[in-house]
Amino acid sequence: MGDKTEIDTLASTNGTDEYRFGYTQEEIERLRYQHHVWTKENQRFISRAGFSKGSTLVDLGCGPGYTTLDLSQIVGAGGKVIAVDRDGERSLPLLKVQAEAAGLFNIETRAANLETFDLQEGSVDGVYGRWVLMYLPETRVKSLIGRMVKWLRPGAACALTELCNFGHIHIYPKSKYLPEIAEALSKAVTGEIGCNPEIGNDLPGLLHSAGLDVEINVIVKAVRATTQEWLWPDALFRNHLPALVKEGYLAHGVFDNFLAEWEARSKDPDAIFFSSPMMEVVARRS
């Protein structure tokens, strides 16, 4: 979903069309906090795309819709945000409640699978998506991009962020077990349906081949153990890695050793967690 981070995303595909960890209140709250942690980076990215008042935007894989609300405020009452997610049971209803509470009535929700979702040609001014294409089978990402390009009006832009090198996730002081964690996560997202956990590497070329003018930027998020933001990777590891053990992607001993190592890092005032690199792409139709 658009509001998940890299570890959620990597661990989310289990051979079905469902988000691995579901939408419990705990998980939705964790996603909300994650959105807060990434707010500055996301605002800068959206600004680069040039989304403006009166625009019609699409939020692909919107999840609970934290970024959808930001986009709604950008386009204003004269604009519209089409929020698309396959979870119409919990995520989209939650988005509607939040939007109404904030007095935002320019959001249209669509419960749909992105593998088949489509819109009228030339009907939107922008498409936004964050950590969402890696949820799809790699063979079908190109098809979605082809449809997205047709939706765009002249001058409109796609603003997409995806992982481009998950193997470079890092902890300082260096973690002995993190490489095995990263490998397990990568295998989990690839799964039986052939997703690509590093689709960000392919994204600029796919968008360029589809006829768009492409600008790229790569970012890494670093958080220190002494800050409140450390709770973001802490929740990711504690809440989600046990599922990889249960499903056979990660050895129980490796998980236990990593968790002990992580406990030590969490008490070290000089410890730093580095996210994997993220490929930000703004691709514009001439």
Instruction: For residue range 155-189, list pLDDT tens digits in order.
Output: 999 999 999 998 899 999 999 999 999 999 889 88
Query: Cα-Cα-Cα-Cα dihedral of 259, 260, 264, 266, to 10°?
Result: 20
- Inside any domain, residue 119: yes
Number of domains in the chain: 1
pLDDT tens, position by position, 227-237: 999 999 998 89
- Inside any domain, residue 144: yes
Let me know: does 94 contact 159? Beta carbons within 8 Å.
no
CATH number at residue 159: 3.40.50.150
- Inside any domain, residue 261: yes
- What's the rounded Cα separation, in Å, for the pair 185 and 197? 9
SS3 216: strand
* The two three-digit tokens of residue 237, written as one number: 């590891």
Integer-rounded Cα Rg, in Å, for the chain is 18
Residues of the domain holding 234: 6-284
Residue 52's nearest CA partner among 161, 157, 129, 165 is 157
Category of 15 on φ-ψ map: left (φ > 0), alpha (ψ -120 to 50) or beta:
left
- What's the rounded Cα separation, in Å, for the pair 189 and 7? 9
- What's the rounded Cα separation, in Å, for the pair 69 and 86? 18
- Inside any domain, residue 1: no
- What's the rounded Cα separation, in Å, for the pair 25 and 200? 30
- Inside any domain, residue 96: yes
Spell out, as residue ranges, where the chain has pLDDT lower than 50: 1, 3-17, 19-20
pLDDT score recorded for residue 18: 53
- Inside any domain, residue 133: yes
- What's the rounded Cα separation, in Å, for the pair 245 and 242? 5
Helix/strand/coil percent split, the chain, to 5 = 45, 20, 35
pLDDT tens, position by position, 68-97: 999 999 999 999 999 999 989 989 999 999
- Inside any domain, residue 209: yes
pLDDT score recorded for residue 135: 82
- Inside any domain, residue 218: yes
Q: What is the pTM of this model?
A: 0.90
